[in-house]
Structure 1
Amino acid sequence: MTRRIVRTVIQVGTLATILLFFAYLLDNRYRVLPTSIHNQIPSHHPGLIVTDINVKTCSSLNVFSSCAPDSDQWQMIDKELYLGSIWFSKAYVYVLRMKEEELGHGDKVVLDVRISRLDPALTDKTESREKWESRNGGIWLKRSAKHADSDSKDAVTAVDILFGADAVEPRLGWEVKDLPLLLDTAGETQESRLTVRRGQPVKIEKVVPRIRKDGKFKIMQAADLHLSTGFGTCRDTDPDGKDGNRCDADTKTLEFVGRLLDEEKPDLVVLSGDQVNGETAPDAQSAIFKFAELFIQRRIPYAAIFGNHDDEGSLPRTAQMEILQGLPYSLSEAGSNTIDGVGNYFVEVLAPGHSQHSALTLYLLDTHSYSPDEAHYKGYDWIKPNQIKWFKDTASTLKRDHSKYSLIHLDMAFIHIPIPEYTDQNAIRVGQYREPPTAPTFNSGFKNALVEHGVMVVSCGHDHVNDYCALSQSLESQKPELWMCYAGGSGYGGYGGWGGYDRRLRFFELDTDEARITTWKRVESKDGDERKKKLDRQIIVDGGKVVND
Structure 2
Amino acid sequence: MKFREDGTFHILHITDIQEIPEVAEDTLTLMRRALDAAKPDLVVFTGDQLKGYSKKFRKKPGQVEKTINRIMEPVVSRGIPFAVTFGNHDEQSGMTNDEQMEIYRNIPGCVDWLNSRGQEILHGTEEGTFAVGIRNFEETQTVMAVYLMDSRGDAPGGGYQTLNPRQVFWYKGARDTFEQEHGRLIPGIVFQHIPMPEYYRLLKKTDKKTKGAVRTYRTHANEYYVLDPEKYRSGSFKEAVSIPDNNAREFESFREKGDIFAVYCGHDHRNSFVGNCGGLDLGYTPSCGFNEYGDGVNRAAREFIFHEEDPAAYETRLLTYKDLVGGKPSRPFRDFAYSHIPATKEEAVAKIKKYVLFTGLAIAGVQAVRSVYKRRKK
Shared fold (TM-score, shorter chain, > 0.5): yes
* Alignment partner of 1:227 is 2:32: no
| Aligned residue in 2 for 1:217 | 9
**C-alpha spacing 1:436/1:343, structure 2 compared with 1 (3 Å):** same
Partner secondary structure for residue 260 of structure 2: coil
User: What's the TM-score once normalised by structure 1's chain length?
Assistant: 0.49
* Alignment partner of 1:460 is 2:297: no
Cα deviation for residue 299 of structure 1 reads 1.0
Cα deviation for residue 527 of structure 1 reads 8.8
Matches within 5 A, 1:282-431: 282=57, 283-333=63-113, 339=125, 341-353=126-138, 355-372=139-156, 374=157, 378-403=158-183, 409-424=186-201, 425-426=203-204, 428-429=231-232, 430-431=234-235
Contact 1:344–1:365, Cα closer than 8 Å, also in 2 = yes
Q: Distance between the aligned counterparts of 2:101 and 2:197, measured in 1?
A: 27
* Alignment partner of 1:487 is 2:267: no
Contact 2:113–2:122, Cα closer than 8 Å, also in 1 = no
Contact 1:523–1:530, Cα closer than 8 Å, also in 2 = no
**C-alpha spacing 1:398/1:326, structure 2 compared with 1 (3 Å):** same
Cα deviation for residue 301 of structure 1 reads 0.5
Partner secondary structure for residue 278 of structure 1: coil
Partner secondary structure for residue 132 of structure 2: strand
Q: Distance between the aligned counterparts of 1:301 and 1:356, measured in 2?
A: 21
**C-alpha spacing 1:333/1:311, structure 2 compared with 1 (3 Å):** farther
Contact 1:325–1:333, Cα closer than 8 Å, also in 2 = no
**C-alpha spacing 1:333/1:296, structure 2 compared with 1 (3 Å):** same
Q: Distance between the aligned counterparts of 2:150 and 2:290, measured in 1?
A: 23
Q: Distance between the aligned counterparts of 2:182 and 2:264, measured in 1?
A: 22
**C-alpha spacing 1:225/1:388, structure 2 compared with 1 (3 Å):** same
Cα deviation for residue 210 of structure 1 reads 1.2
| Aligned residue in 1 for 2:309 | 513
Q: Distance between the aligned counterparts of 1:251 and 1:367, measured in 2?
A: 28
**C-alpha spacing 1:322/1:356, structure 2 compared with 1 (3 Å):** farther
Matches within 5 A, 1:64-213: 209-213=1-5
Q: Which amino acid aligns with 1:410?
A: P
Decide which structure has greater helix share.
2
Cα deviation for residue 365 of structure 1 reads 0.9
Q: Distance between the aligned counterparts of 1:440 and 1:297, measured in 2?
A: 37
Contact 1:333–1:343, Cα closer than 8 Å, also in 2 = no
Q: 1:437-472: CA deviations, max 9, x gaps?
A: 001120110001111141010000100000011211
Q: How many pairs were matched up?
A: 287
Cα deviation for residue 401 of structure 1 reads 2.2
Partner secondary structure for residue 347 of structure 1: strand
Q: 1:265 aligns with which of 30, 34, 39?
A: 39
**C-alpha spacing 1:523/1:530, structure 2 compared with 1 (3 Å):** farther
Q: Distance between the aligned counterparts of 1:218 and 1:336, measured in 2?
A: 21
Contact 2:300–2:320, Cα closer than 8 Å, also in 1 = yes
Partner secondary structure for residue 298 of structure 1: coil
Cα deviation for residue 410 of structure 1 reads 2.8
Cα deviation for residue 529 of structure 1 reads 7.5
Partner secondary structure for residue 269 of structure 1: strand
Q: Distance between the aligned counterparts of 2:124 and 2:37, measured in 1?
A: 41
Q: 1:107-138: CA deviations, max 9, x gaps?
A: xxxxxxxxxxxxxxxxxxxxxxxxxxxxxxxx
Q: Distance between the aligned counterparts of 2:85 and 2:324, measured in 1?
A: 32
Contact 1:423–1:439, Cα closer than 8 Å, also in 2 = no
Q: 1:315-358: CA deviations, max 9, x gaps?
A: 1111001111222110135899994x4311111112103x2421
Unaligned runs of 5+ in 2: 58-62, 115-120, 205-227, 329-378
Q: 1:491-522: CA deviations, max 9, x gaps?
A: 1112115xx56211111100113442111111
User: What's the TM-score once normalised by structure 2's chain length?
Assistant: 0.71
Contact 2:301–2:318, Cα closer than 8 Å, also in 1 = yes
Q: Distance between the aligned counterparts of 2:170 and 2:150, measured in 1?
A: 12
What's the RMSD between the two structures over aligned residues? Answer: 2.4
**C-alpha spacing 1:222/1:344, structure 2 compared with 1 (3 Å):** same
Q: Distance between the aligned counterparts of 2:315 and 2:303, measured in 1?
A: 8
Partner secondary structure for residue 271 of structure 1: strand
Partner secondary structure for residue 279 of structure 1: coil
Contact 2:123–2:129, Cα closer than 8 Å, also in 1 = no
Contact 1:224–1:274, Cα closer than 8 Å, also in 2 = yes
Q: Distance between the aligned counterparts of 2:124 and 2:183, measured in 1?
A: 29
- Larger Rg over CA atoms: 1
Q: Distance between the aligned counterparts of 2:236 and 2:299, measured in 1?
A: 13
Partner secondary structure for residue 433 of structure 1: coil
**C-alpha spacing 1:371/1:289, structure 2 compared with 1 (3 Å):** same
**C-alpha spacing 1:332/1:464, structure 2 compared with 1 (3 Å):** farther
| Aligned residue in 1 for 2:250 | 446
Q: Distance between the aligned counterparts of 1:460 and 1:343, measured in 2?
A: 14
Q: Distance between the aligned counterparts of 1:530 and 1:469, measured in 2?
A: 26
Partner secondary structure for residue 303 of structure 1: strand
The ranges of structure 1 where at least 4 consecutive aligned residues each deviate by more than 4 angstroms after the TM superposition are 333-338, 526-531
* Alignment partner of 1:276 is 2:50: yes
State the identity as a percent. 28
